[in-house]
């Protein structure tokens, strides 16, 4: 897996102060995507053990609320297979920090057998996330007043509440 950027002290891509990893590779190719360079699976730098250690160090301060995965597309199968072991490390090292994932794929696409990008580790990856922001960016539905999203079709899914309730639960649209 490759990544395009790491942001420390990010306040735009999830609640609180976060460390954000922009992975490379995306097959969605949303019109007017804000990161089209990340569509290429070999964009940026290789995601190595050194990268993982660097991210774990960035997550250490108490004022960091957690990790956010963006893209590109974290849920491309190639990326999922690389991210799952790392997310286990994050959970083991920082059990009180949250993990957010952004995906152009919907929750339904991620959980329906036989659909791309579902693979053998998708359920495991979803189990490691606290929040999933799902859905492709749609230019015609662009709304800059929404929390953590670019278009109104995208959803802020509280995966912890959803697991407890047995159905999808959402974070508020606006604060």
* For the chain, domain boundaries: 2-165
The whole model's pTM is what? Answer: 0.96
CA distance 175 to 163: 24
pLDDT tens-digit map of 128-153: 999 999 999 999 999 988 999 989 99
d(CA 97, CA 92): 10
Mean of per-residue pLDDT scores for the chain = 95
**φ and ψ of 164, to 5 deg:** -65, -40
By three-state DSSP, how is residue 137 classified?
coil
Structure tokens belonging to residue 170: 């959402």
| C-beta separation of 92 from 86 below 8 A | no
Upstream peptide bond of 72 is cis (omega within 30 degrees of 0): yes
**Nearest alpha-carbon partner for 129 in 163, 98, 172, 167:** 98
Q: Are the C-beta atoms of 106 and 133 separated by less than 8 Å?
A: no
Radius of gyration of the chain measured on its C-alpha atoms = 15
Q: Quick: pLDDT tens for 95-106.
A: 999 999 999 999
CATH architecture assignment, domain 2-165: Alpha-Beta Barrel (3.20)
**Percentage of the chain lying above the pLDDT 70 cut:** 99
What is the tens place of the pLDDT at every residue in 1-46?
999 999 999 999 999 999 999 999 999 998 888 889 999 999 999 9
Q: How many helices (H) and strands (E) does the chain have?
A: 5, 7
Amino acid 174: pLDDT: 62
**Whole-number Å distance between alpha carbons of 89 and 79:** 16
């Amino acid at each position: 897996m490759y990544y395009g950027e790491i942001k420390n002290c990010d306040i735009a891509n999830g609640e609180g102060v976060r460390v954000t990893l922009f992975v490379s590779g995306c097959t969605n190719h949303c019109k007017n995507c804000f990161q089209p360079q990340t569509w290429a699976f070999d964009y940026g730098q290789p995601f190595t053990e050194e990268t993982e250690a660097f991210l774990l160090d960035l997550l250490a301060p108490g004022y960091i609320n957690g990790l956010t995965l963006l893209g590109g597309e974290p849920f491309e199968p190639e990326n999922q297979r690389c991210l799952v072991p790392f997310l286990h490390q994050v959970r083991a090292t920082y059990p009180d920090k949250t993990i957010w994932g952004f995906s152009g794929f919907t929750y339904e696409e991620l959980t329906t057998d036989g659909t791309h990008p579902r693979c053998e580790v998708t359920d495991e990856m979803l189990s490691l996330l606290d929040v999933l922001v799902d859905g492709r960016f749609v230019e015609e539905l662009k709304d800059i007043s929404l929390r953590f999203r670019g278009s109104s079709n995208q959803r802020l899914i509280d995966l912890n509440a959803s697991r407890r309730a047995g159905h999808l639960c959402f974070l508020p649209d606006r604060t």
